[in-house]
Amino acid sequence: MAQLVIEGGRPLAGTISLAGAKNSSFKLMIASLLAAGETCLTNLSQIDEVRHVSFMLQALGARVRPSAGRGLTIDTHSVKAAAIPEELGRFSRASTLFLGPLLARFGRAVVPLPGGDAIGKRPLERHWEGLSSLGVQLEVKDKLIEARVANLHGGHYRFAKNSHTGTETLIMAAVLAKGRTMIDNAAQEPEVDDLINFLNQMGAKITRSGRMIAIEGVKILQPAVYSVMPDRNQAVSYAIAALATGGELTINNARAEHMTAFLTKLKQAGAGVETDVTGIRFFFKQTLKATAITTEPHPGFMTDWEPLWSVLMTQAQGGSKIIEAVFIDRWQFVPDLIAMGARISYFDPKPNHPDRFYNFNLSDDRTGNYHGIIVSGPTRLHAGRFSVKDIRNGATLTIAGLLAQGKTVLNNAELIDRGYEDFAGQLVTLGAKITKI
């Protein structure tokens, strides 16, 4: 178990560069199974999610070794197994993404139900229905997903609600299927396009037109060398840490087009933002103004940014309405921020068409569950002792600790390492005082 001890009260300043995107890195690793041979991925994030997927690949028989450019070389020649042990799925939500490559190779797959962060039920039926349209049969037995198919064939599937991972699962199942596959209402996240670009470099035939993705199945894919896109979630996290502490930060390789909704809200709040071809500069120039956000699939305000935005709004003047419309429950951080002195109250939005407004299944919701909070500020936070509950919860509490008077102690801090490469160490280079034990 790791522990962070954070001493607040220091504005952050400096320059950093981003590691490869978490939500792209491990998915491209899985996609390497679609070609026989050695694929080399560079600019990978050195995080626990990448390590967990490395273990899964090796359990299937792949050889994984470090390579230049912060990379991994994945040799799939020796992959013989079509089943991943149940214990390897406990700490990762990557397991369902193995279904497509394993079905393409073997016509069958056995993978664990996904683990990972506890941020609300993940509607896996969207994955199942999409795979069924390609001829796949699935069932769940003893926490394992068993899938089989005689021959993958093209199909037409429309997601009733947007699904990032569901779109990626279906793409990987369709690239080697016979015929044409059409995916309607597909996810538009940049990480999905990173996967598409990687597969096309391997020889796939995938095109996108808005939320419609067309895939012409090919007989074979070839290994490739590919550089992972930079992590926009890390960019948002470090930007908020700098702005919340009244500092300034330049992120050299941040891509503004990947986080337009975030940059728009920052400017509305009165933060300083300057972009150019090399990256983005964030700087504090005045007391921030309360600014409302509602989480949405891309190109909207990303759900992963919502906890981080909440702690930033504790330093803004007025009341900020924050609505979580993607996951059923992402308020694990709220009681901890309240314990640190934040003024936060819950409310429940009343949209005219809730089934269209919310991206989760209304049937999965719980009576009395709130989907909105109001953060009132500015508020001086004070230190406390807490246990990290998930990746963004840990990043949020770390930033809150940078604002607080006294020493904040975070237990279970190793959970942050699932999604950030040395988060505490990067903050220290910007002037934070953090000790990792």
What ranges do the domains of the chain cover? 3-18+230-436, 22-227
Pick the CATH number of 22-227 from 3.40.50.10490, 2.40.50.140, 3.40.50.1100, 3.65.10.10: 3.65.10.10
Residue 124 pLDDT = 79
Q: What are the tens digits of pLDDT across the range 138-177?
A: 998 888 999 999 999 999 999 999 999 999 999 999 999 9
Please report the pLDDT score of residue 104 as a whole number. 95
Backbone angles phi, psi at 123, to 5 degrees: -75, 90
Return all residues near 315 (Cβ < 8 A) that are at least 6 apart.
244, 287, 288, 377, 378, 379, 403
Tokens 């990746």, residue? 391
3-18+230-436 belongs to CATH 3.65.10.10: yes
Best CA proximity match to 377, nearest among 393, 400, 398? 400
Residue 92 has what pLDDT? 73
* CA distance readout (Å), 387 to 327, 373, 403: 21, 22, 18
CA atoms within 13 A on the CB side of 169: 25
Say whether pTM exceeds 0.85.
yes
Q: Which H helix or E strand runs over 201? A: helix 190-201
Identical fold between 3-18+230-436 and 22-227:
yes
Residues of the chain with pLDDT under 70: 91, 115-123
pLDDT at 117: 45
Tens of pLDDT along 62-118?
Answer: 999 999 989 999 999 999 999 998 888 776 778 899 999 999 999 999 999 886 444
pLDDT at 123: 66
Q: What is the pLDDT of residue 97?
A: 94
